[in-house]
Amino acid sequence: MRAINRLIRWSAARRNWIALLLLGGVLGCSGGDSLDRREVRGSVTHAGKPVQDGTITLFPLGEGMVASGKIENGYYEIPRYQGPIPGEYRVELTGLQATGRMIRLEEPGMAPQEIPEVKSVIPAKYNDRSELTLTIDREKKVIMSDFLLEE
């Protein structure tokens, strides 16, 4: 009987230990970080028309990390888990448009392929030389910001 009681106690301890390890693994591998991130979303137009395909990138002017999102059909969203922390950011916007032509792409070790040619539709003053800024407010969890770009 003593051997059975010892086996039962050991099994309970073993079960608790395994449960603790599993819980630690789940919590430790959640994929999040401890940064106080914000979601950012809004619209992007150029010359009065929605930017169909592009990117928005936020570069911190002080502390922070670069955050980026895709522009699709005139709208963008940087989800909270990828978003910026509160602070000031310089904004770069890019937009691409298909020209209707195909170009040949040749890379070493790969078969040549035809891909659609694209051109930039947003002037450098909104991307490489951008002076656009965005403040990520500590008091808001979702930041809404529209960018109405001129020629």
**What phi, psi does 133 have (nearest 5°)?**
-130, 160
pLDDT over 70, % of the chain: 79
pLDDT for residue 64: 86
Pseudo-torsion of CA 94, 136, 81, 59, nearest 10°?
40
Domain boundaries, the chain: 1-31, 39-149
pLDDT in tens, 31-67: 468 899 999 999 999 999 999 999 999 999 998 899 9
Query: Could you say which architecture CATH assigns to the domain 39-149?
Result: Sandwich (2.60)
SS3 content of the chain, % helix, strand, coil (to 5): 20, 45, 35
Helix (H, G, I), strand (E, B) or coil at 37: coil
